[in-house]
Amino acid sequence: MSPPHIVEDFAARKDANMQARGLGISEDNGMPCAKFLQTTGDHCYHELTKRHQPCNDKKGGTLEKNYARADPSYLQTLGQTHSAWIFGAIAELVDNSRDANASRLDISIEIIYSKRAGKDIPMLSFIDDGCGMTHQEVVRMTCFGHKQPDANNVDRIGRFGVGFKTGAMRLGRDALVLTQTAESRSIAFLSQSLNEGKDNLEIPIVSYRRKGQFMELDTSVQSQDLAKYNLKAVKEFSPFDKYLIGEKAGLFDKRHTGTQIYIWNLDEWGSGYCLDWTTGLTGGSSFHQGDIFIRSKRVRSRPGQMSQKVPLDYSLRCYLEVIFLVPRMKIYVQGSPVKCRPLGKSLNKTCEVTGNIIGKGVNLTLGRCQLEWEQGNCGMFLYWHGRLIEAYKRVGGMIHNGDVGRGMIGVIDVTDLMDNGNGRVWVHSNKQGFQDCEAYAQLEEWLGKKADEYWDKNHDPVQLFQKKGGLLYQPDHEWVQCDKCRKWRTLSPGFDSKRLPKEWFCYMEPFEGSCETPEQKVESGVITLTAKRTGYDRRDVKDDATIASGGNL
């Protein structure tokens, strides 16, 4: 054995060396904490550092803990990303399911008993049948400080690496993730309750690997003691005991792979919660379907908007109807399916406009919508990577007059335009707006010009008066989505859409075809416009207009 003074001298020099390298000391175990330490075997790994981190348990053994070098209050800071609109937090988790190629996502609020709280509490859940996450992917999702990708992947919405954390911590104080791939299963716990009073953020993760038809602890990424310690933390600070964990894991027997996210201690509003919900009636009409609402039901602030009836702002069902430009994933809210609305395919007097802004092509669909006219709404729907970023954005004359553009809707995907080509995108990290940049400024001007032109050519006050009380803006085409292939099919002229069953497939009338048939394209109802902006001179704009057959202006 080494003499005591040599050991003490070595420990002193080690502590001084750690302080010089910027490593902190955790007060609850007296050991160094790197930015994030994830256990692999007997060692803890970070992207750039590797540090052994044992700690004493009550039985005298040693364990390792997963730490992020951040104060637990940082979780509250993350939640403020979506402080203006809580549905933005839900959208982050919906995006993750879509990126995982899920075909189905169930969102619901259920009442469970919390032993820790000593009462029944609501718990928000997101359950999908996507590809699931490996241990390494779960670590990446729950920890901090990852580099953004250098390339802009058009097939993925997630980019900034903070969506789960900002979304979950806005919705509630505690979140548990249960995910399964074909070969593994993991449990992760991101919790403010667990970390109260601690100096560094602890994130318990337990991972399993498949062995035959069973799942066993994956000792290649964690020790038995660490897994036991983390599982104990989950059971102590959450409603999930071994029976509830087993019940939820049983859902994978039907779907094989997927991810389940459970959030509780939901954000409060007075004596209730920020979210309100109805359960709905099974098999009832759409009027009796369940929904999740923002309790305040306040309309979001938009320049020039006068309407106070914007269901998309406070009804989750209405928001999810239009969240994706091309809806593919089946979404259920409170057990009832969401009937998606492909906005660009369901307009009256549809007009396709192509243009060129700062050297990049854009495609705008303009038209009129009966529902929006009745509610006094109008504006542009801006999508990025096929996901809605801004809704009812007023441009041109709409900003200055509440009646201008009533019922007019524009739909545009700006994925290419909002990419600077160097791996950076001009989209806010909360995916609820765009940065102030040249591309966005010129886009606003161009949209305003095209919207004003369309309104001037198609607005008829006499027609409005004559058709008052009747349907003014009948869609150019009615569409139905196959519940198997998720492709959209046009209905035959004169076919009553009310005759369609709740679940419709391509072989049924009126399509009576095959899922292999390519999806039909939107046909312009009236006009096709082409606009080209060459260079950066705002005066250098060329327009051409062509009237489609059967149309009139």
Q: Which residues pair with 24 in a beta bridge?
A: 33
Task: Tell me which residue range forms the domain holding 203.
Answer: 72-149+157-278
Burial of 356 (0-12, 13-18, 19+ CB in 10 A): middle
pLDDT for residue 282? 55
71 vs 282, more confident: 71
CATH code of the domain in which 489 resides: 3.30.40.100
- Per the domain annotation, does 483 fall within a domain? yes
- Per the domain annotation, does 309 fall within a domain? no
Pairing of strands 119-128, 104-114: antiparallel
- Report how far residue 354's alpha carbon sits from residue 524's, in angstroms, rounded to the nearest whole number: 13
Neighbouring residues of 190: CB distance < 8 A, sequence distance ≥ 6: 75, 142, 164, 165, 168, 169, 174, 175, 176, 177, 203
- If asked whether residues 483 and 447 sit together in one domain, one would say no
- If asked whether residues 104 and 233 sit together in one domain, one would say yes
- This prediction has a pTM of 0.78
- If asked whether residues 241 and 358 sit together in one domain, one would say no
Give start and end residues of each alpha helix (H) in 56-154.
Answer: 74-79, 87-99, 135-142
- If asked whether residues 85 and 214 sit together in one domain, one would say yes
Instruction: Tell me the per-residue pLDDT of 224-261, one tens digit each, with 9 for 90 and over.
Output: 999 999 999 999 999 999 999 999 998 987 778 999 99
Q: What pLDDT band is residue 171 in, cutting at 50, 70 and 90?
A: very high
Q: How many domains does the chain have?
A: 3
Instruction: Tell me the per-residue pLDDT of 487-529, one tens digit each, with 9 for 90 and over.
Output: 888 887 777 777 888 888 888 888 878 888 888 776 555 443 4
- Per the domain annotation, does 545 fall within a domain? no
pLDDT for residue 80? 86
For a pLDDT cut of 70, what percent of the chain falls above it? Answer: 75
Q: What is the mean pLDDT of residues 73-98?
A: 91
Confirm if 121 and 387 have CB atoms less than 8 A apart: no
- If asked whether residues 432 and 496 sit together in one domain, one would say no
- If asked whether residues 350 and 431 sit together in one domain, one would say yes
Q: What is the mean pLDDT of residues 314-340?
A: 93
- Per the domain annotation, does 196 fall within a domain? yes
Q: What is the mean pLDDT of residues 383-387?
A: 94
- Per the domain annotation, does 296 fall within a domain? no
